[in-house]
Amino acid sequence: MSMAPIPRWNAQGLLPPMDARNPASAWRSPYLVGMTDLVLRFGTSDERRQILDGLLYYRAELYAVGITTGFQWLDGSFLEEIEKLEARAPRDVDVVTFFELPAGQTQADVLNRNRNLFDRKKTKAAYRVDAFPLCLGGAAKPLIERSTCWYSLWSHRRDLRWKGYLEVGLSAAEDAAARANLNVVVGSAL
């Protein structure tokens, strides 16, 4: 996945979930961007710059405990044109950190280096980051990228209206019961 410019807010004051001119393109949320682009695009007020400063300190603390491989998803009112939508400044930034453990380390090892990084109330107070850390296994990043692509494609119509979709577990026994019910439904429809 390559980096692209951060899209402008749409008429609703939100980042568009996809390219409305080409809804099936790969350019969609979550947009892959660099921290410099994030700072330049959203550091437009003292409040926003304070939140970005906190985010950068939070990231520095992650690096200090050995979390150096992974990625983050950012969201919340920080990524909205909240000043116009609700006549207020953003209060924090929501951050999910998908990370790999340092080689030879356990989750307990990392947690014991700085427990505050894994406590939402403390990260919110210290860094203005509403933090959600998630430890990954080695093959998780490609799976997450593909899953978010499908989620993004299926959670919106091409006209950008939200819609839902379903998850069904794999079960041969349940499929046999479903087939029996399907035969009853099909038989009664005739």
pLDDT at 60: 93
Print burial letters for 2-38: b (CB count within 10 Å at least 16), e (below 16): eeeebbeeeeeeebbbbeeeebeeebbbbbeeeeeeb
Residues of the chain predicted below pLDDT 70: 1-2, 138-139, 164-166, 171, 185-190
pLDDT in tens, 29-44: 888 898 999 999 999 9
Whether pTM exceeds 0.85 = no
From the list 130, 126, 134, 50, the residue with the least C-alpha distance to 94 is 130
pLDDT in tens, 119-136: 999 999 999 999 999 888
Query: Nearest 5°: CA angle at 96, between 91 and 100?
Result: 145
Distance CA 30, CA 136 (A): 18
